[in-house]
Amino acid sequence: MNRYICTNRNKNYQTEVEDILISRKQEILDFFNVSDDGQFNFNVYIYNTIDDLVNGMKNRGFKSMPTYMCACYKDEDNSLNFFEPNDNPSENKWSKEEYKNVIFHEEIHGIQSIVYGHQPEWLTEGIAKYLDGTYSKGIKYLLDYINKTNVPTMYELENEFGMHDYDSYKYSYLMVNYLIETLGKDNFLIAIKSSETIKNLSNNLVTKAVDYYNKKFVCTDFKRR
């Protein structure tokens, strides 16, 4: 069972979070082709506000906190970390309905970490975005954004994820989608078991993925560094 450490105002929110984690766990296990043998349980922290979440994570040793962070998985203590959105949020604030997908997203990170251990952020975020439905409109829709930006380097995506003006998540999804499409899901899952294979696959990967989908969707007007 998950273990809850709650500081939020509404203790009933724990039940809502638990329902999401339980009801959607099997989707993740099916993707990774693993069975639930009792190891996929987490320490779940729920904070009162997003500021409390950020401060709480810093106090617990999370040194680098991106400004966009609204939840996270912390592998050092196998924890999922959330805050409780307001029932009637102001504009540009998370609603509880929107936040359900964030909870699912972090659970994906947690299960992947248990199965595979520590992996590059572009890979973990790409898989989470592949599963959570953020880009359900498809790759062709993403190209409208990607072809208007300079394609980042793999160095940036491997070492400076989320630190630049472009949306690193879009590129991570594109790369993972490309690998699954070209390798097949089963071969992809085998490949990412090895850090050496991941390193080989990541060689110039972002450019390969962009080129591949531009050719597939007959889009040629894109920029590259």
Tens of pLDDT along 142-170? 998 999 999 999 999 999 998 899 999 99
The full set of domains in the chain, from first to last, is: 3-116 (3.40.30.160), 121-224 (no CATH)
Please tell me what DSSP assigns to residue 77: G
Report, as an integer, the average pLDDT of 167-187.
97
pLDDT of residue 225: 47
Tens of pLDDT along 33-75? 999 989 999 999 999 999 999 999 999 988 777 777 899 999 9
pLDDT of residue 218: 63
Task: Provide the pLDDT confidence category of residue 11 given band limits of 50, 70 and 90.
Answer: confident
> What is the pTM (predicted TM-score) of this model?
0.93
82 phi and psi, to 5 degrees? -135, 170
Place of tokens 């498809």: 138
**14 CB-contact burial (10 Å; exposed 0-12 / middle 13-18 / buried 19+):** middle
Report, as an integer, the average pLDDT of 182-197.
98
Report, as an integer, the average pLDDT of 125-143.
94
Task: Look over the chain and give the mean of its residue pLDDT values, rounded to a whole number.
Answer: 92
Measured from the Cβ of residue 150, the count of other Cβ atoms closer than 10 Å reads 13
Query: Which one has a higher pLDDT value, 223 or 91?
Result: 91
Percent of the chain residues topping a pLDDT of 90:
80
Is it the case that residue 87 has pLDDT exceeding 90? no
